[in-house]
Structure 1
Amino acid sequence: MDRTSDGSELLTGPGAGGLLRSAVGNAGGVLRTWELDHVDHRPGRSTKALYRTTVSWPEIDGAQAPAREELFGASAHVGEQEKDLLDAENSMVMTDGDINVRVWRYPHDPWLPMLPKVCYPDVVGRTLVDMGVPLMPGTAEHVPIEVISYRPGRRAVLRAQLPDRGLYLKVMQPRRSGEIVERHRHLLAAGVPVPRVIAHREGLVVLEELPGMPLSRAILDQGVDACRAEDLVAMLDRLPASLFPLPMRPPWTDSIEFYAGIVSSSLPSLGPRVDALVREIREGLAAVGRRQDLSAHDVVHGDFYEAQVFVDGGEVVGVLDIDTVGPGRRADDLACLLAHLSVLADEGSTRRIDPAVQQRVLTAIDAWQEVFTRRVDPTELALRSAGVVLSLATGPHRQQEAAWQAATEAIVRIAERWVEAARTAESERIAAQQAGPTGSGAPGAPAPAPTQGGHPSPRTPPQQTPPPQTPPAQAAPPSGTPDGSPPAPRGGAAPQAPIPGDDSPTLERRIPPGLGG
């Protein structure tokens, strides 16, 4: 068995075929083809991978039957014990003494014991009935299922289509479901438009479907008219202060060294550039911290981007995925949204989206960034956006996209532009400060990015921009509330850093319904 520091070479290289062949053969099948579909890499510690395969099952289907499409997962652990393992019987373990590799056939994920009970149309109905979910007579025998996302060992999201409504099924490690249910109930009671919990069991939460459509779809069609930036900020500011004592979800920028390591490991040629990004983000935030308090002042969403927000008729009507709600800084939520949108917009440069659609997204970034910089410090916003973009640069390799190397480099380039935007914002802040009360601006005023509009253009390379001759005209209130009133009281929020990678950036590949045996 190949030896690496974390099993990544083994699970992503040709040696993975031998592991899959052994696991399939042990289950009575014959592996015909395989390809890597998804990889979660924690450098120096562990690697999880998902494979698309075709497998023949002679004893079940007969010798002449066509091969089936199957998903297989694998996990390699080095120097650490497997945690929260709940279903070891349906997996096969192989080891060479240093690296332990566990292989399983979807949906029998050893960490997600409820997944087999909801991923088949002829099974999910019985599970829902057992959990007390009312179904129309005669519909439990076959409930259409769509797998929205699946990250081996971590979570899965599925949509069940009932005759009268859709339901979302969140499958997770059982230890987490109770707290997530309580957060949904708490937020609903506070008037935050999150999905209602219909039923739950350890490791499975059933949620109602929100009205409207995801902002990720609306912004492609409507651009800035999809919703008002002020409404996005107001919805976040509705998160109740009573959740401030929850454990803190550290911002993406706290783990930029980790994400830079993943990018450098998968594409060493980018190493110097991501190292420079880490250095500039760290130094820039340190400078911001010398002039203002960077501790948590708000209750934040923790993973706020366009797929998590639902809109209808230009209004924000709901928000998803509140697993990470807790104390933090509003700049992190707003930066997360801008970062995701900037990556989405740059897909136009690779012709993944239509130029007209790209322009709509760019216009929305311009308009929303201008509003956000009246709520939070412009330099901090740009630096934290760069940090989120760097975390998203791990996505193309993790999802095994076609031409992932070029896609990774393109995302790193976007992060560099956000750093350039931070430099420009800081230059304008200093110019406004030097102008004093007689000038036309004030410290902390909104600052445009160094390229076109108010955002880092995905089509223009980073460039040094001198401070503007005329400082911006509008000052931002202190971090805390939109009108500059005192922030929420601090206390009881002890930072609790998760292991990076457990909740890594949410760019997940959709799985066609029905795949898996």
Structure 2
Amino acid sequence: MSQTQDGSELLTGPGAGGLLRSAVGNSGGVLHSWQLDHVDHRPGRSTKALYRTQVSWPELDGPQAPAREELFGASAHIGEREKNLHVAEQTLVMTDGDINVRVWRYPHDPWLPMLPQVCYPDIVGRTLHDLGVHIGADPTQPISIDVVSYRPGRRAVLRAAQGEGAVYLKVMQPHRSGEIVDRHERLLAAGVPVPQVIAHHDGLVVLAELPGRPLARAVIDEGVDSCRAEDLVALLDRLPASMYSLPLRPPWTDSVEFYAGIVASSVPSLGPRLDALVASIRDGLTALEQRMDMRPHDVVHGDFYEAQVFVQDGKVVGLLDIDTVGPGRRADDLACLLAHLSVLADYGNAGRIDRAMQARVEEAIRTWLVTFEHRVDPTELALRAAGVVLSLATGPHRQQEAAWEAATEAIVRVAEEWATAARHAERRRHAQAGSGHGGPAPAPPAAPGPSAPSGGHRPSGPSAPAPPAGRGSIAPAPGSAAPVQQSAPPQRSAPSQAPPQHTAPQEQTAPPQHTAPPQHTAPPEHTAPPASDGGRGEHGDDSPTQERAIPTIRPE
């Protein structure tokens, strides 16, 4: 049965049909069709996959009943133990002696025992009642359930609505929920506008709804007017120094080899470019360590990007997914946001967002980048952004996007452009040092940009060549250092297309009364706490960045 050490070929190739057919048949069903929907691949170690299927159940529905759409999950493990397995009774394990494959029918994820208790409209009502949670004013109204995101074996987020009320249900492995609740309570006490915890149980946290809307939507519609860069930095500075004692969440750049390996395994032709990109990031960070203190001096969000921030009337009103708050470097948070936005902007070159949306996102990146570069070292900011973009290059294959190979190459190109931007920033620094004054240095010669993608569209990453008239570039002009005043808001135009799926928020919830940010003080100790087992790369990745947003599946 095993064809590769980690089961990836088995779970993503034609052989997966046989596994699913056996699992469905063992439960009394008939598999009519299947389609790979999501892949979570850790090269050489394990693979998890999610499948969208059409299945009929003659014994339950009768022989003439139509097939149902069902989700099935599968996990292949070799060389590592299946940790934190909770409910295995409703799974089927198959083995050939070399590799074990576990198959389950959604929502019976063996790592998420609370998932079946919240994904059925009738059952979720009883679950919430037992927790003392009331959604709508009229308890007799039906409850609707929408699946916001689901990462097999890791976590799920669902929205439960009743009338005008709604709550968000965050499902995770049971050992993690107490820690998540504690983080929310500590941040709320410090005045950070994070989700308010309504109730919780082992493996389930119930969260209220935030006001406003995700920055992911606002930046597409409004661009730079969605919020000020200074407010984004101030939001991060409100994270209390007391949380510096939490386990260290390693930066994305610590795992560039890991992410490059995943990408290269799915698109081998990118191997040489990935090797060069990893070397560029590593060499750049090594050089930085020779001239500046690179220890984690700040309290960081850990996965700060546009879907995690809520805005209203041009102001920041909420912050989501604080699972990874802990010690780190401010450049990592700011780079994470820029990295996500640059990938979003590049979607315009593939027609996934229209040109007006692309221009608004690019303007936001250019404006916010100037402010961020006054807070953190510009070279470090660009290198960290390159590392985050590289991690996002695993997404198209993981999420089984249409034309995922081309989408993967496009994201790798954006990462390369950030690496080029880092080299330009370092040249500017050397030029400024050599000039003997702190003013802007002469612009260095522009590095050759990557070739334009098919269709003649230019790259829209941070170091793309000069755009034609009417199009903006993401990066500021080389040598620009002085903050710029925001101009009057441009005329807003209605979007002609919904935002891409990856920008959907993983959860929404309501903050306490918004107060002015307290003065941020640096943590007293500047030594890094030990990394937890939740670290990226070697130990896995619980980041919502890598989650798959899926349409609602109505379990029967």
- Give the C-alpha shift of residue 162 in structure 1: 2.3
Work out whether residues 335 and 388 of structure 1, in 8 Å CA contact, stay in contact via their aligned partners in 2. yes
Q: 2:342 maps to which residue?
A: 342
> What does residue range 66-215 of structure 1 map to in structure 2 within 5 Å?
66-136=66-136, 139=139, 142-215=142-215
Q: 2:511 maps to which residue?
A: none
Work out whether residues 425 and 449 of structure 1, in 8 Å CA contact, stay in contact via their aligned partners in 2. no
Q: 1:440 maps to which residue?
A: 439
- Give the C-alpha shift of residue 125 in structure 1: 1.1
- Give the C-alpha shift of residue 493 in structure 1: 4.2
Cα separation, partners in 2 of 1:515 and 1:273, compared to 1, 3 Å: farther
Work out whether residues 295 and 527 of structure 2, in 8 Å CA contact, stay in contact via their aligned partners in 1. no
Cα separation, partners in 2 of 1:349 and 1:472, compared to 1, 3 Å: closer
Q: 2:261 maps to which residue?
A: 261
Q: Give the secondary structure class of the aligned counterpart of 1:250.
A: coil
Question: Please, which runs of 5 or more residues in structure 2 have no aligned partner?
Answer: 450-457, 468-475, 484-516
Cα separation, partners in 2 of 1:137 and 1:413, compared to 1, 3 Å: closer
Q: 1:47 maps to which residue?
A: 47
Letter in 1 for 2:316: V
- Give the C-alpha shift of residue 289 in structure 1: 1.1
- Give the C-alpha shift of residue 166 in structure 1: 1.5
Letter in 2 for 1:270: L
1:414-439 deviation line (CA, Å, top 9, x unaligned)? 000000100110000000001113x6
Work out whether residues 420 and 463 of structure 2, in 8 Å CA contact, stay in contact via their aligned partners in 1. no
1:147-173 deviation line (CA, Å, top 9, x unaligned)? 000000000000111223221110000
Distance 1:184 1:86 in 2: 25
- Give the C-alpha shift of residue 123 in structure 1: 1.2
Work out whether residues 3 and 10 of structure 1, in 8 Å CA contact, stay in contact via their aligned partners in 2. yes
Cα separation, partners in 2 of 1:248 and 1:358, compared to 1, 3 Å: same
Whether 1:496 aligns to 2:535 is no
Whether 1:513 aligns to 2:552 is yes
Question: How many residues are matched?
Answer: 501
Work out whether residues 111 and 173 of structure 1, in 8 Å CA contact, stay in contact via their aligned partners in 2. yes
Letter in 2 for 1:387: G
TM-score, length-normalised on structure 1?
0.92
Cα separation, partners in 2 of 1:460 and 1:174, compared to 1, 3 Å: farther
Work out whether residues 3 and 10 of structure 2, in 8 Å CA contact, stay in contact via their aligned partners in 1. yes
Q: Give the secondary structure class of the aligned counterpart of 2:134.
A: coil
Distance 2:382 2:536 in 1: 25
Distance 1:278 1:442 in 2: 28
- Give the C-alpha shift of residue 471 in structure 1: 5.2
1:330-354 deviation line (CA, Å, top 9, x unaligned)? 0000000000000000000000001
Higher relative contact order (CA closer than 8 Å, sequence separation 6+):
2
Distance 2:139 2:414 in 1: 48
Work out whether residues 135 and 167 of structure 2, in 8 Å CA contact, stay in contact via their aligned partners in 1. no
Q: Give the secondary structure class of the aligned counterpart of 1:6.
A: coil
Q: Give the secondary structure class of the aligned counterpart of 1:159.
A: strand
Cα separation, partners in 2 of 1:342 and 1:323, compared to 1, 3 Å: same
Distance 1:41 1:340 in 2: 21
Question: Please, which runs of 5 or more residues in structure 1 have no aligned partner?
Answer: 462-467, 476-481
Work out whether residues 448 and 465 of structure 2, in 8 Å CA contact, stay in contact via their aligned partners in 1. no
Letter in 2 for 1:337: L
Work out whether residues 366 and 455 of structure 1, in 8 Å CA contact, stay in contact via their aligned partners in 2. no
Distance 1:415 1:137 in 2: 49
Distance 2:228 2:154 in 1: 34
Over aligned residues, Cα RMSD in angstroms?
Answer: 2.6
- Give the C-alpha shift of residue 138 in structure 1: 5.5
Whether 1:456 aligns to 2:462 is yes
Work out whether residues 122 and 140 of structure 1, in 8 Å CA contact, stay in contact via their aligned partners in 2. no
Report percent identity of matched pairs. 70
- Give the C-alpha shift of residue 510 in structure 1: 2.4
Cα separation, partners in 2 of 1:42 and 1:460, compared to 1, 3 Å: farther
Q: Give the secondary structure class of the aligned counterpart of 1:35.
A: strand
Q: 2:275 maps to which residue?
A: 275
Letter in 2 for 1:59: E
Work out whether residues 212 and 312 of structure 1, in 8 Å CA contact, stay in contact via their aligned partners in 2. yes
Q: 2:241 maps to which residue?
A: 241
- Give the C-alpha shift of residue 243 in structure 1: 0.3
Distance 2:377 2:205 in 1: 37
> What does residue range 393-408 of structure 1 map to in structure 2 within 5 Å?
393-408=393-408
Q: Give the secondary structure class of the aligned counterpart of 2:420.
A: helix
Work out whether residues 349 and 458 of structure 1, in 8 Å CA contact, stay in contact via their aligned partners in 2. no
Cα separation, partners in 2 of 1:373 and 1:135, compared to 1, 3 Å: closer
Distance 1:275 1:130 in 2: 53
Cα separation, partners in 2 of 1:448 and 1:360, compared to 1, 3 Å: farther
